[in-house]
Structures are given as structure tokens and as C-alpha cells.
Chain A
């Protein structure tokens, strides 16, 4: 038996009603990127869910990882992101989601440069349960000049 760190995509994304968080497809040079998109300079959120794997390690070291990209080649533009989560055990109608501290997405000098933000999962995970995750962005910071493309994962240690 060993421990392996895996990335499980968050699924079943639904936006808030602001119209500033949405699923989109962007035609890049050589492929079509399907992703969740957050409008720059606007506060919005989307919610997702992910199944906690049955073979979660005793110490799962769980986190929510956001890989964020923007078509902005000016380094230093920033936008705050924050994740919140709650565990569904007996009811889907969970209470308040617990929030991790916000972190800044900062653009690089490369258009669509890859930036990874890692947020600690706030809930005490139980193998096999459903984790509800909210991803929010805010208007704070010197905003990027383009929308932010977000890929979201549950990073977790599993016993294999």
C-alpha cells in the first residue's frame, strides 16, 4: 500500500445569477478550451461538487486547486479568488459553506500564463461523501484585462 496524490475535477458546475460566471469554449491556436470563465472586474461565483474517494488516505492533505489563465500579457494584474466548501453527509441542503482565505490570481507576462492557487479544504472529509465547493471571485485588485479561465480540482491523497 502506498499513498498517491490525485487531482479529481470538480463537476456539476452551476453559476450564480450575475451572468459573470459561466461555462465557455475558447478557440485557442490549436485546440478548443472548455472551461469555467469568470468575468474580470466583476464579483461572481459558481458552485461545484465532487465525490470524496473511498480510498482517501488517513491523512488526505486535501485542497482545492484552481488553475487560472487569462489572455493578459501584462504581469501584475490581480483578482481575488476564494473557495468555500461543505460536506454532504445526510442532506444535500447543507449549512453555510466554510471559506478558505482569499488568494490573489496574478497575471504573468505570458498570455494565458498558468497560475495555480491552492486552497485548503475546510470540511472534515469522509470517504464516499459529496463535497460541495463554491469558487468566488471579487472586484478587489488591479483586475486583468481579460476574463479568467478556471480549471478546478480536488487534490487529495489516496491509498493505492
Chain B
């Protein structure tokens, strides 16, 4: 199953200050499935990010004017301002009412690349990627992790999100490929999984099945069908 967000007020908030989700340096990977029902204005599916202040870690944004065209997917790692963070977008049109798998992998120590990079990958109804040279300017604390939105006061995601996960390591392109094939995050490097919210829609709060119990507090949302082929 998945959680459906209404695009205005629905949100899932996960505690991410001074815990394993508060990754302010080093490698990390974030992954989710999304099914936007509205494209054209900014709707952000997942973030640990704020416009200012500490705790700016990552942002996955659909249609953010600062990052991409209205129907494209962008990302930020670190701050946008005043220190310029790492950001980019995938120049592939996102259409409404289709499932997409999104992965943001921060190879801060150049484990798989010749130099530190952030790799943003899209699969599902459309595919593409964006690779940016990485420079560290994330900060700890500050804000929590939000699924289905960036911050409480900023437009949230319109549509469904499922299988959201976060690792404190960088996954290889092969492992990202497995996620795109529908393999559960729980089967990919579970020793480095710091958060996994399948969003089964059967409990409130939504359970974190990584073992850390960083459960997500619900504001609204309804239960929806899951992405196809994610029962592995």
C-alpha cells in the first residue's frame, strides 16, 4: 500500500534531529516511489530541509522554480543559500498519475566515482539521471524529515508516496537498479538502512521498519494502492 497526500496539508513527519537520520556529512542515499496526481506547481515528495537555518540535508522537489521546469524533478543536498549547495534536475517530463522510483545517492567519498558526486536517478514511467559534483555543506539538527512535503508551511506533495527509505551509505548503481526493479529497501544493505517507511497505511504513526523506530506522525493522508511490482 501507499499513502496519498492532498497537496495542501497532508504530511508525514519523522524525527530527524540528533539521530541517525540527521546526516550532515558523508555518504547517504534516499529512495522513494511517487505517484503525482498534480504536476505544474511545486509539490515536494520528501525532504529534510528548510529554507534557512540548520538541518538542511536534502530536498527532492517536483516543479520547484529554483531547480527545474514545472514538470521536472529536482534535488538539493545541503543549502541553497547563502552557501550554494549541490543541486540539479532531471530533464525528463513527469506526468501525473503514473508511478516513478526516485533515488538520490550522495557518494561523498568517491566510492563508486572518480570524485565525490551526487547522483539523482529516476525510473518508472520515465527515466533519467543527473550527476553533480559534490561539496559538503549539509548541517545537523534544525528540521525533521518530511514525507509528502518539504515543510509544514510549504505546499506538500499531491499524490501517493510509498517505500520511502534512507541509508547512511551510498548505494551502488546496481543496488539502485534493484530498487528500481521493485526490490524492497529492507533487502538492500539493511545494515546501513537508517529509515524505512513502506507506508502500508495500516497504522498511525506510520512504522519505520529499519529497526530505529523513527515512526512518522501523520497529518491527514489516506491509504492508496502501492506501486506495481514492489512486493519483492
Contact = CB atoms under 8 A, between A and B. Distances in A.
Interface of A: 14-15, 17-20, 22-27, 32, 34, 37, 39, 147
Contacts of A14: 190-191
Contact of A25 (B175, B178, B189, B190): B178
B65 interface: no
B174 A17 contact: no
Given A19-B112, A19-B171, A19-B172, A24 B181 contact: yes
Interface residues of B, number: 21
A23 B187 contact: yes
A52 to B, nearest CB: 24
Contact of A26 (B172, B175, B181, B192): B181
Contact of B177 (A18, A24, A27): A24
5 contacts: A17-B169, A22-B175, A23-B187, A25-B229, A32-B229
Most chain A beta carbons < 10 A, residue from B174, B175, B189: B174
A127 to B, nearest CB: 29
A17 B149 CA distance: 31
Contact of B188 (A22, A26, A39): A22
A64 B191 CA distance: 25
A27 B174 CA distance: 15
A137 to B, nearest CB: 13
A25 B232 contact: yes
Given A19-B171, A23-B232, 8 more contacts: A15-B189, A19-B170, A22-B188, A22-B189, A23-B183, A23-B188, A27-B181, A37-B178
Contacts of B229: 25, 32
B174 A147 contact: yes
Interface string B156-197: 000000000000011110110110011100011111100000
Given A14-B190, A25-B183, A26-B181, A34 B232 contact: yes
Contacts of A39: 172, 174
Contact of A22 (B111, B112, B178): B178
A25 B174 contact: no
A39 B169 CA distance: 19
B181 A25 contact: yes
A101 B102 CA distance: 41
